[in-house]
Amino acid sequence: MPRHRLGVFVDGCFWHGCPVHGVVEFHGPNAKRWSDKIEANRRRGGPNTQACEGAGWTVIRIWECEARSYVEQAALRIAVACGRRPR
Ligand SMILES: [Zn+2]
């Protein structure tokens, strides 16, 4: 949201290894490949956040499950970051 210098990332539970819904252990011939992929995605989040914050942006990271189950809370976090008060 460039106008507010706000970056909102919604991290997918599977792709970013959500502590609640992520896969704990992969099985099968590609298990190592999958676990490496998820770990790389998790690690990438930190530098992306730091790069945005370093450029003066505010960053909000939301898990996919939060966006699905607590969408109003997620929206409120974004609204507050934009300087809006909830109605
Ligand atoms: Zn989740």
Would you state the pLDDT for residue 45?
85
CATH architecture of 2-81: 3-Layer(aba) Sandwich (3.40)
pTM of the predicted protein model: 0.82
Cα of 52 from ligand 1 centre, angstroms: 23
Residue (of 72, 78, 12, 77) closest to 45 by Cα position: 12
Around ion ligand 1, residues with a beta carbon closer than 5 Å are 13, 18, 20-21, 63, 65
Distance in angstroms (rounded) separating the CA atoms of residues 36 and 32: 6
Cα of 23 from ligand 1 centre, angstroms: 10
Distance in angstroms (rounded) separating the CA atoms of residues 45 and 67: 17
Provide the residue ranges of all domains of the chain, joining segments of one domain with +.
2-81
Dump pLDDT digits (tens) for 20-72.
999 999 999 999 999 999 999 999 888 999 999 999 999 999 999 999 999 99
Cα of 21 from ligand 1 centre, angstroms: 4
Cα of 22 from ligand 1 centre, angstroms: 7
